[in-house]
Every structure is written in C-alpha cells, then in structure tokens.
C-alpha cells in the first residue's frame, strides 16, 4: 500500500511539474522558417548559453554567423560544434572583449575590413557583476550596455548599406528593478546584491537604448528590438557565491529554461517578417509586451544616449 501511494504521489508530482513546465517555464517557440541564406549575422557572446543556441538556429537557416567572443579557445570550440550540428561551414570566430573599448574598436575595424555585409546584429553577451572593467567602469554597465552601444554605432553604417537589417538587444525583465542614476550607474560596486542591482540597471539601459536607437533609425530600414529571454539556466549565474551553488543549481535545472528555449525570442526578432513597425519595442515569449513606464521614458532615453556617447568617447 505504501509503495502504491508513493508511486501515485510521484506520478502526481511529475504531472504537476509537466503542467508547470509547458505552461510557464518552457516559453513560446519561434515557428517561422525564414531562410537567411546570403545574410551575415554577428552575435556577441555566441560561444555559450543563449548566444550559442541562437547562433546554431541562424546557422541552420543558412546565415554566415560571426561569433564575437572574448575567449578564443571556447569560441573556436563553439564554431566547431555549430558547424557540425548545422552543416553550415560559414560560422566563424572573431575576438571581442566587451570589457575593453579598445577591443570593441579593434573588432569593428577588423570586421569592416573583412566582411562586406552585416544584416543582423545580436547584442547578446552579458555579465551580472558590478566589479571594475579594464576601462574603470562598472563591469555590468560596460559589458551589457556601453560596449554594445559603441559596437552598434561602429557597425551601423554597414547595416544601413545592407538594409533591411536588424539589431536585437538581449535585455531582461530585470529592467523592472533598474534605476538610471547618472552620478553612479557607471561606478564599480562590491557584493552580490550590488552586482544584481547593477545588472538590473544595465538591463534598463538596454531598454532605453533600444527605444532611442529606433527613433534615430527611423527611415533607414534598420530596425531594432529589445528582448526578454525568460529565466534561463546560463553561465550568467557563474558569479553566484560558491556556498550557494549546491542549493541554486538544482533549482536552476528544474525551474529555469534551457538555452534553446531561452533563445527563441532573440531568433523571433531576428527573423520574423512583419514586425518592422514595432522597432524599438520590447518582446518576450515571441510576443510584443509593454515594459514598465520608466523603460518608456523618451527624455531619459535621450539623456542616456548622450551620456553614453561621452563615456565611450563618441561625443563631439
């Protein structure tokens, strides 16, 4: 009797988990089959996590995919994996360290010399720590926002030449907790909680940047979209305290999306026809969403743009 009750309890638990997984955890799937043959894509952080899953999907669609990554060994390993799994040999590694503005400029110059096209730019890479970058900025703010701001600026003329083209910015629902304090947002911080707040601030910056970028791109046939990938089990959590990992990792495995499911909204915004009129808007679960009011503040977005220009050395 006890064994039967245990089996019944297990079956009920599995059933409830399946219900939870398919309705709340897994998320929507990008269902279009758009071909990307003849198109070139750059994905930052494409060697792991959501970026690698996105790169694999776009490679399967026939795109020429550039993995812009910091770690050469891991980047080249990812290239081999994606080539093998997609059957597409037009997958390449190029070195890019978003913690260094010099590296961003070097990457952009090398890319523009070697690649005649850029049709899709996916600003995917991210970190969750607020420690100091090599340029002296808050690492999350620089990697997640400032360096992508600079990279997009340096590559934008090529995208205009190849229009219609798209910029996809991997933001997050964490923008809801973000704050833009121009006196402090760029300053390094210590500690887990401060790092999490820095991450949220940078994701709000992603949202505002995408909004202002869309305004400035109006009439160019280059469009841009901010996306929330969902809660995904990625290396973003590598900065979790060691003593928390034994508790945290099983929860991640059970209740967070895998990277393939987490990549779906990025893929959707990179490939879906008919969403051009929503340039500058926010997508989650392959669907248009309205972010919190402070992520729709046009005056704040314009000021952030101007401050970002000065921080990366673009201001006149």
What is the per-residue pLDDT across 214-229, written as a single tens digit (0 to 9) for each? 999 999 999 999 999 9
The per-residue pLDDT of the chain, averaged, comes to 89
* Res. 249 pLDDT band, cuts 50 70 90: low
Confidence of residue 28 (pLDDT cuts 50, 70, 90): confident
Least confident of 51-55, 56-60, 267-271, 311-315: 311-315
Over range 207-211, report the average pLDDT.
98
More confident residue, 13 or 279: 279
Which of 281 and 12 is assigned the larger pLDDT? Answer: 281
pLDDT above 70 for 239: no
Tell me the CATH number for domain 29-312.
3.40.50.720
CA-nearest of 34, 38, 61, 50 to 272 is 34
Q: Which residues of 82-95 are buried (b: 16+ CB within 10 A; e: fewer)?
A: bbeebebeebbbbe
Q: What is the mean pLDDT of residues 61-90?
A: 98
Higher pLDDT, residue 223 or 246 = 223
With a cut of 70, say whether residue 170 has pLDDT above it: yes
Residue 27 banded pLDDT, cuts 50, 70, 90: low
pLDDT of residue 51: 96
List, in order, residues 6 or more apart from 218 with CB less than 8 Å away. Answer: 279
Residue whose tokens read 């096209």: 117
User: Does position 109 have pLDDT exceeding 60, yes or no?
Assistant: yes
Predicted local confidence at residue 21, as pLDDT: 43
Q: What does the pLDDT read at residue 12?
A: 55
Catalytic center residues: 199
Above 70 in pLDDT, residue 247?
no
pLDDT at 70: 96
The pLDDT confidence band at residue 257, using thresholds 50, 70 and 90, is low
């Amino acid at each position: 009797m006890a064994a039967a009750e245990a089996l019944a309890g297990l079956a009920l638990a599995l059933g409830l988990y399946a219900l939870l997984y398919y309705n709340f955890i897994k998320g929507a799937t990008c269902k279009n089959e758009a071909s990307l043959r003849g198109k070139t894509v750059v994905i930052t952080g494409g060697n792991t996590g959501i970026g690698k899953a996105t790169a694999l999907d776009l490679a399967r669609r026939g795109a020429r995919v550039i993995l812009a990554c910091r770690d050469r060994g891991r980047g080249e390993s990812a290239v081999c994996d994606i080539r093998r799994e997609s059957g597409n040999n037009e997958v390449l590694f190029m070195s890019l360290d978003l913690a260094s503005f010099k590296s961003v400029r070097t990457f952009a110059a090398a890319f523009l010399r070697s690649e005649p096209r850029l049709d899709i730019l996916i600003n995917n890479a991210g970190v969750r720590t607020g420690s100091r970058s090599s340029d002296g900025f808050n690492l999350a703010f620089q990697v997640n926002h400032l360096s992508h701001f600079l990279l997009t600026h340096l590559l934008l003329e090529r995208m205009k030449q190849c229009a219609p083209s798209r910029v996809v910015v991997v933001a997050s629902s964490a923008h809801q907790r973000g704050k833009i304090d121009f006196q402090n947002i760029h300053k390094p911080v210590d500690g887990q909680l401060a790092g999490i707040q820095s991450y949220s601030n940078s994701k709000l910056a992603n949202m505002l940047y995408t909004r202002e970028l869309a305004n400035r791109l109006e009439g160019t046939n280059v469009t841009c979209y901010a996306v929330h990938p969902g809660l995904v089990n990625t290396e973003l959590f590598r900065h979790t305290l060691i003593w928390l990992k034994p508790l945290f990792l099983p929860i991640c495995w059970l209740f967070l999306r895998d990277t393939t499911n987490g990549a779906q909204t990025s893929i959707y915004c990179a490939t879906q026809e008919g969403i051009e009129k929503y340039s500058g808007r926010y997508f989650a679960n392959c669907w248009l969403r309205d972010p919190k009011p402070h992520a729709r503040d046009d005056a704040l977005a314009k000021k952030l743009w101007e401050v970002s220009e000065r921080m990366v050395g673009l201001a006149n």
